[in-house]
Chain A
Amino acid sequence: DVKVTQSSRYLVKRTGEKVFLECVQDMDHENMFWYRQDPGLGLRLIYFSYDVKMKEKGDIPEGYSVSREKKERFSLILESASTNQTSMYLCASSLVFLSVNGYTFGSGTRLTVV
């Protein structure tokens, strides 16, 4: 069964900390994505990557950066965590050209910044 694995289910971090969220997929997918989910706002795209070492800004990249050194791993970095970054973070992957099934999502990381 294909999988997208996010390293942490729950995280609590302090304001100003540098936070790393890790995502690994075992499907040899080219594309990887980071979304955040907030009530009433749905899923909003933060960053995505079409290939190793390539990254593209999504709709809400401010305060975030990403790293993709290997095809299977896509990391989201919060440079200096703030309380408004408290959210559910979802990683997803897909083939180069989206199949009719779209993305495969990980289980999510619930991040709380205090």
Chain B
Amino acid sequence: DQQVKQNSPSLSVQEGRISILNCDYTNSMFDYFLWYKKYPAEGPTFLISISSIKDKNEDGRFTVFLNKSAKHLSLHIVPSQPGDSAVYFCAARGGAQKLVFGQGTRLTINP
């Protein structure tokens, strides 16, 4: 039972353009959503988060949008840079102490 889904295993974007990564969830009790970025042979690092009471959170080039009625969130990166090439995981807080992760999307930024 996959409660958090990232349906696109990979995404390829031209440098300077917008990257949009998507995530769907099924559990309406999730109260916080997070995005992590992972380079090969490294652990995931926190990127940005959003509370379920908000619909947008912005941090520099990164913006996360939350559509609660659709149970959908997206991460926008603009402009995309070569260093953004990584695997991106969305995660949801399903209780006070645990995160539930999606399958990940591999983003490749082409020069």
| Residues in A whose Cβ lies below 8 Å from that of B99 | 98, 102-103
Most buried by B among A31, A94, A101: A101
Whole-angstrom distance between the Cβ of A6 and the nearest chain B Cβ: 8
B103 near A98 with CB under 8 A, answer no
| Residues in A whose Cβ lies below 8 Å from that of B44 | 43, 90, 105
Q: How large is the interface on B (under 10, 10 to 19, 20 to 34, 35 or more residues)?
A: 20 to 34
Is B72 among interface residues, defined by CB-CB distance under 8 A? no
Is A107 among interface residues, defined by CB-CB distance under 8 A? yes
| Residues in A whose Cβ lies below 8 Å from that of B49 | 100-102
Is A11 among interface residues, defined by CB-CB distance under 8 A? no
Whole-angstrom distance between the Cβ of A97 and the nearest chain B Cβ: 5
**Complex: A19 Cα to B36 Cα, angstroms:** 28
- Mark interface residues in A35-77 (1 if CB within 8 Å of B CB, else 0): 1010011111100101000000000000000000000000000
**Complex: A108 Cα to B36 Cα, angstroms:** 15
| Residues in A whose Cβ lies below 8 Å from that of B97 | 31, 48, 50, 94, 96-98
